[in-house]
Amino acid sequence: MTLVMKFGGTSVGSASAMRSTAELILTYREQFGNVVVIASGMGTKPIKVTDLLLGGANAAADGDTDTYRQNGALLRDINAATIRELLTTEQKAIIAENDAMIGRFENICQAVSYLGELSPRALDAVGGLGEQMSVPIVAALLREMGHDAEAIDATELIVTDSHHTNAAPDFAATQTKAAARLRPILDRGGIPIVTGFIAADADGVTTTLGRGGSDYSASIIGQVLGADEVWIWTDVDGVMTTDPRIVDNAQSIPTLTFREVSELAYYGAKVLHPKTMRPCVEGNIPLRIKNTFNPDHPGTVIMEHAAASHGAIKAVTAIRDLRLITVEGKGMMGVPGVAARTFSAVADADINVLLITQASSEQSICFATSAGTTESTLNALETEFVDELKNRDIDRIWAMNPVSIVTIVGAGMRGTAGISGRVFTALHSINIIAIAQGSSECSISIVVDDHDASPAIKLLHDLIVTQ
Ligand code: ASP
Ligand code: MG
């Protein structure tokens, strides 16, 4: 059996976290036989190594040569302290290896500051250094504990296109490369420790899979190796019924379907890198989310056909600070193509639409976008409908003040009568501005004033707890 396990920033964020991580790796290797580990860069709140690296590079591009130097010095301190606490035999070698990476970071930043320009390719070269520093530490720690572990740079495994900062994997090429590199290690009983987040294009140039992309690295490797399970180790007990900062009796959800997780991620729950699911769906590989700091908790299992408890609402989430844009006019009725023109104008302006509603009277179309794009959305629509606005076929195009989309998710709602009744009864004290239900019937989204979002979440969460 093969298990791919990804350890996030906090799971490798300190010497003690790394020690627990090493113990977990060994425990589950006993159970599964083969374990492949993917690790993120160190990330103990509030210091996240990837942020220090990218922040330094961005500052350098703006001519600030202090930030990257300070960040470099800080990284040297953090890494050396962690390594000294964990390693003896390999201490010197790993500190030197880490120092060389930091030296590279400083050199690139210096070049960036001279040029006054930061290319996406340079951003990837810098961003991936966090993983390239943490992985050798974990591998050396396991070796010092008496096990055969090897640090592997994912540029040797994952092949992507050259779309820097958000590269897409070539699965066929990755399968060949990853199997050739990883199988011999597994066959001799070794443990590969692989950098998350980074990959390389066909020319071998470093790319990254997007921020938070280590989750995706794990599912890519899981798929190409035909793993039996992929586990994401993080610092919470799996996917929660809602944000525990809003509702204190938020609970961990035992099982979710891939579809439910996609819906949750889309509507603002920060669960996994959004592309993580696809390789697992294709490989039919269960994906488990577990807590490094509470490893006995079963966490959440995500699979194709998770128990869809009948009628159940599983989670409630929200995206805040959105704007509801309305195109309104009595003359719109029966004018063909208003919806098509509205959304193509919005798409041409590169604006992401999160929710759409149109009443059947056809007198208005309304949709939600993020606050930052309000101006450009209104401009795009005013240009598109300049004639209709003049003729008064369209009366006005306007944006409503900060709103939130509150979404409840649960595949078991499909075909179950009475769910929306329960939802709207629970929300009787809240003013509902718009409603949308996907035809998948896997979620219901409600638009409310920003101030009403937390109260709405609390009321809806009570439905989950009491159902
Ligand atoms: N270290 C990368 C980031 O911060 C990738 C990850 O943590 O998943 O985005
Ligand atoms: Mg993450």
List the beta bridge partners of residue 159.
Answer: 200
Q: Is ligand 1 within 6 A of the CB of residue 195?
A: no
The number of the ligand 1 atom at minimal distance from the alpha carbon of 9 is 7
Beta strands in 147-276 (DSSP E): 149-152, 159-160, 191-195, 198-201, 206-208, 229-234, 255-257
Reading the block at residue 447, the tokens are 């638009």
In order of 114, 143, 169, 254, the CA distances from 266 in angstroms are: 40, 41, 21, 20
Q: Whose CA is nearest to atom 2 of ligand 1?
A: 212
Q: Are 220 and 364 in a shared domain?
A: no
Ligand nearest to the Cα of 210, by number:
1
Query: Is position 257 within any domain?
Result: no
List the beta bridge partners of residue 150.
Answer: 192
Q: Residue 348: give its domain's CATH number.
A: 3.30.2130.10
Q: Are 10 and 153 in a shared domain?
A: yes
Q: Is ligand 1 within 6 A of the CB of residue 50?
A: yes
Q: Is 410 helix (H, G, I), strand (E, B) or coil?
A: coil
Q: Are 222 and 368 in a shared domain?
A: no
- CA 196 to ligand 1 centroid distance, Å: 8
| Domain endpoint, select from 196, 216, 235 | 235
Backbone φ and ψ for 195, nearest 5 degrees, come out as -70, 130
Ligand nearest to the Cα of 55, by number:
1
Q: Is ligand 1 within 6 A of the CB of residue 40?
A: yes
Q: Are 36 and 144 in a shared domain?
A: yes
In order of 394, 397, 426, the CA distances from 203 in angstroms are: 53, 49, 57
Reported as half-sphere exposure (CB side, CA atoms, 13 A), residue 136 has a value of: 20
Query: Is position 290 within any domain?
Result: no
Q: How many CB atoms lie within 10 A of CB 70?
A: 13
Q: Are 179 and 49 in a shared domain?
A: yes
End-to-end CA distance of the chain: 38
Q: Are 207 and 321 in a shared domain?
A: no
Q: Closest Cα to residue 18, out of 171, 149, 106?
A: 149
- CA 41 to ligand 1 centroid distance, Å: 7
- Give the mutation target among 214, 232, 289 for probing the ligand 1 site: most ligand atoms within 8 A of CB: 214
**pLDDT value at residue 307:** 63
Q: Are 139 and 14 in a shared domain?
A: yes
DSSP letter, residue 427: T
Reported as half-sphere exposure (CB side, CA atoms, 13 A), residue 113 has a value of: 18
Q: Is ligand 1 within 6 A of the CB of residue 130?
A: yes
Ligand nearest to the Cα of 233, by number:
2
| Mean pLDDT (10-residue bins), the chain, 467 residues | 97 96 97 98 91 98 97 97 98 98 98 96 97 98 98 98 98 98 98 98 98 97 98 94 92 92 82 90 95 95 74 89 93 80 93 85 87 94 94 92 93 79 92 82 91 96 87
Q: Closest Cα to residue 132, out of 50, 255, 18, 217?
A: 50
- Give the mutation target among 7, 42, 50 for probing the ligand 1 site: most ligand atoms within 8 A of CB: 50
Reading the block at residue 56, the tokens are 């330094």
Q: Is ligand 1 within 6 A of the CB of residue 211?
A: yes
- Give the mutation target among 44, 211, 234, 275 for probing the ligand 1 site: most ligand atoms within 8 A of CB: 211
Q: Is ligand 1 within 6 A of the CB of residue 238?
A: no
How far is 426 from 414, CA to CA, in rounded Å? 19
The number of the ligand 1 atom at minimal distance from the alpha carbon of 48 is 4
The number of the ligand 1 atom at minimal distance from the alpha carbon of 41 is 1
User: Which residues 6+ apart lie within 8 Å of 76 measured at CB?
Assistant: 98, 99, 102
Please give the torsion angle defined by the CA atoms of residues 47, 51, 52 and 54, in that order, rounded to the nearest 10 degrees: 180
In order of 198, 212, 242, the CA distances from 215 in angstroms are: 11, 7, 21
Q: Are 196 and 326 in a shared domain?
A: no
- Give the mutation target among 5, 7, 10, 40 for probing the ligand 1 site: most ligand atoms within 8 A of CB: 40
HEC readout, 165-197: CCCCECHHHHHHHHHHHHHHHHHCCCEEEEECC
How far is 158 from 180, CA to CA, in rounded Å? 12
**pLDDT value at residue 333:** 75
Q: Is ligand 1 within 6 A of the CB of residue 214?
A: yes
Q: Whose CA is nearest to atom 5 of ligand 1?
A: 212
Q: Is ligand 1 within 6 A of the CB of residue 82?
A: no
Query: Is position 261 within any domain?
Result: no
- CA 215 to ligand 2 centroid distance, Å: 6
Query: Is position 251 within any domain?
Result: no
Q: Is 307 helix (H, G, I), strand (E, B) or coil?
A: coil
- CA 396 to ligand 2 centroid distance, Å: 42
The number of the ligand 1 atom at minimal distance from the alpha carbon of 131 is 1
Q: Mark out the alpha helices in 33-65 (DSSP H runs).
A: 49-61
| Domain endpoint, select from 235, 259, 285 | 235
**pLDDT value at residue 311:** 60
Q: Whose CA is nearest to atom 6 of ligand 1?
A: 212
Q: Whose CA is nearest to atom 8 of ligand 1?
A: 212
Q: Are 31 and 147 in a shared domain?
A: yes
Q: Are 348 and 225 in a shared domain?
A: no
Q: How many CB atoms lie within 10 A of CB 348?
A: 11
Reading the block at residue 85, the tokens are 């606490």
Q: Closest Cα to residue 448, out of 319, 260, 327, 263?
A: 319
Beta strands in 345-427 (DSSP E): 355-358, 364-370, 396-409
∠ Cα 12 303 10 (to 5°): 10
How far is 368 from 366, CA to CA, in rounded Å? 7
DSSP letter, residue 204: -
Query: Is position 160 within any domain?
Result: yes
Q: Residue 203: give its domain's CATH number.
A: 3.40.1160.10
| Domain endpoint, select from 201, 235, 269 | 235
- pTM, 2 dp: 0.88
∠ Cα 131 132 138 (to 5°): 75
Q: Are 116 and 223 in a shared domain?
A: yes
Ligand nearest to the Cα of 13, by number:
1
Query: Is position 229 within any domain?
Result: yes
Q: Which residue has the tokens 């603002």?
A: 268
Number of domains in the chain: 2
- CA 348 to ligand 2 centroid distance, Å: 31
Domain of 440? 315-466
Q: Closest Cα to residue 409, out of 346, 344, 461, 352?
A: 461
- CA 253 to ligand 1 centroid distance, Å: 24
∠ Cα 186 192 197 (to 5°): 135
- CA 215 to ligand 1 centroid distance, Å: 8
User: Measured on CA atoms in the order 14, 40, 237, 182, is the torsion positive or negative?
Assistant: negative
The number of the ligand 1 atom at minimal distance from the alpha carbon of 130 is 1
Query: Is position 287 within any domain?
Result: no
Q: Is ligand 1 within 6 A of the CB of residue 192?
A: no
Reading the block at residue 120, the tokens are 């996406």
How far is 344 from 219, CA to CA, in rounded Å? 34
Query: Is position 303 within any domain?
Result: no
Reading the block at residue 211, the tokens are 């921020």
Q: Are 341 and 210 in a shared domain?
A: no
Burial of 296 (0-12, 13-18, 19+ CB in 10 A): exposed
